[in-house]
Structure 1
């Protein structure tokens, strides 16, 4: 039985993987799929792909594109979530900031450089016509717990993270959400190390078949809203809203979409150049 390591954030987007593992779907297909949680997100997963700690990652689209352009020997093999990620823009509950304009020139908490929270700060700045060189400053906080500490203690001024995962902290009065910023592209892809894609081609195709069969019917799973609410400590009405806004994909990302994303990342100076579609994407 081949062992394949996959990484992802421990969030509701990835519940389908948990359900497949719990059902033993991969083992029945002769694959020992080992899931690794990466609470700090994209930057940590990109590093793990580079080091060979994982073979596959369910990772933010903009983050893996940037890292492949920067030399990560990996490829995108499929879109996983077709819809945008809705990033909430948060400040500490007792912060004096009340609007996005108040945040201009202040310090953003980011999990690490090259992470989604880092890259989306640029998207938010562009959306609000800020100067990308003078109006953006950063404090590395590693993960959501670090953001709570960083904002509460005043080490950073605002923090961008997926709106629904941070909603419990807003409800508790730890954060205030003063805005939101959706990604202008499909938010999650499945990527794999070039070496792993070559060695485990058949197994990875089987993994994709299994997960795609689950995501096709994910919203029809009995009591899925209750399962998500309980597992991720969410209110049922928030989960239902999230489900209504989220669509999974079973397809490869198109060349037009890849080109559009690269154009936007290039305009923001997040990547230094565009690379070819075949350097970013592969069909296995």
Structure 2
């Protein structure tokens, strides 16, 4: 049986997954890097380029809410919020989030977390979400270029991933917008041919052991710090600061129903999705043959 094709974003959150991959050596799964983020992950699930995606909560949920049948939720990956930094060009005129009203915002792809969180930012600021303007810049490198050449006013990206560009003076940080939901979920194509249930369950159960190990108090003190420093060359103080904020689930094969309902509530208020008559059915979002909806 062919190994699962697991799409992921290569950043510090993926550390337990990378450790699992080093041990598995392609027997259960192979990793497919998706540097543009969740929009690219969803596109690759749709186009039969991956079978499983470890991706941001809000775009996954909004995609299903908008009718996508390319995937269902099968698990949880990170239980803490994601801190989205609002970033502008080094010489731009923008000094604070309120200055961005009516300006073009850079995003990686349509349906990405960078776009969803722009809607959440607009909701917090009291801006009409239907007036938001977006320019697609593909990845962090394109986003940095766009704020410095003036084609966009700002973009949103995870803080610690963006911090090296801020520290080097290439861009400026003008605010942050944490997600109002746990930040990462796991999705898989619903076809048993693409993602065989037993293979998927084995993947989730073994991933859970690696996540629990990484999340342990003992490993957080030293081993996690050393792994992230070695893999991403982050300064030790940044690694330790991030480890104080991140949380992982005890069981990756469980999904709290409240995560789905709370996320949908915010996405509806932000104008990202529209609630159907009678409201959403949480069971439609989850492959309950694989995941425990709790």
Task: Report Cα offsets for 1:119-170 as digits up to 9, x if no partner.
Answer: 1001011111222223x21111010010111111111010100000000000
| Matches of 1:178 and 1:199, distance apart in 2 | 42
SS in 1 for 2:157: strand
User: Which 4+ runs in 1 deviate beyond 6 A?
Assistant: none
Task: Report Cα offsets for 1:77-126 as digits up to 9, x if no partner.
Answer: 11110000000000111112111111122111000111100010010111
Structure 1 residue runs without a partner (length 5+):
none
| Matches of 1:261 and 1:23, distance apart in 2 | 34
| Matches of 2:234 and 2:104, distance apart in 1 | 28
The alpha carbon displacement at 1:72 in A equals: 2.2
- 2:155 corresponds in structure 1 to 159
Q: 1:281 aligns with which of 273, 283, 286?
A: 286
After superposition, residues 103-252 of structure 1 pair within 5 angstroms as 103-134=100-131, 136-196=132-192, 200-219=196-215, 220-221=218-219, 222-249=222-249, 250-251=251-252, 252=254
SS in 1 for 2:129: coil
Q: 2:256 aligns with which of 235, 254, 260?
A: 254
Contact 1:42/1:60 (8 A) holds in 2: yes
| Matches of 1:243 and 1:199, distance apart in 2 | 32
In structure 2, relative to structure 1, the CA distance for the partners of 1:89 and 1:187 (3 Å cut) is same
| Matches of 2:107 and 2:169, distance apart in 1 | 21
| Matches of 2:163 and 2:192, distance apart in 1 | 37
The alpha carbon displacement at 1:197 in A equals: 7.7
Contact 1:25/1:210 (8 A) holds in 2: no
After superposition, residues 64-75 of structure 1 pair within 5 angstroms as 64-73=60-69, 74-75=71-72
Deviates more, 1:9-18 or 1:224-233: 224-233
- 2:5 corresponds in structure 1 to 5
The alpha carbon displacement at 1:199 in A equals: 5.2
Contact 1:84/1:183 (8 A) holds in 2: yes
* Pairs aligned (count): 279
In structure 2, relative to structure 1, the CA distance for the partners of 1:197 and 1:127 (3 Å cut) is farther
SS in 1 for 2:54: strand
In structure 2, relative to structure 1, the CA distance for the partners of 1:199 and 1:91 (3 Å cut) is closer
Contact 2:119/2:271 (8 A) holds in 1: no
The alpha carbon displacement at 1:71 in A equals: 2.6
| Matches of 1:169 and 1:197, distance apart in 2 | 42
Q: TM-score, normalised by structure 2?
A: 0.90
Q: 2:271 aligns with which of 254, 269, 272?
A: 269
- 2:87 corresponds in structure 1 to 90
SS in 1 for 2:102: coil
SS in 1 for 2:161: helix
Instruction: Give me the CA root mean square deviation.
Output: 1.6
Contact 1:197/1:204 (8 A) holds in 2: no
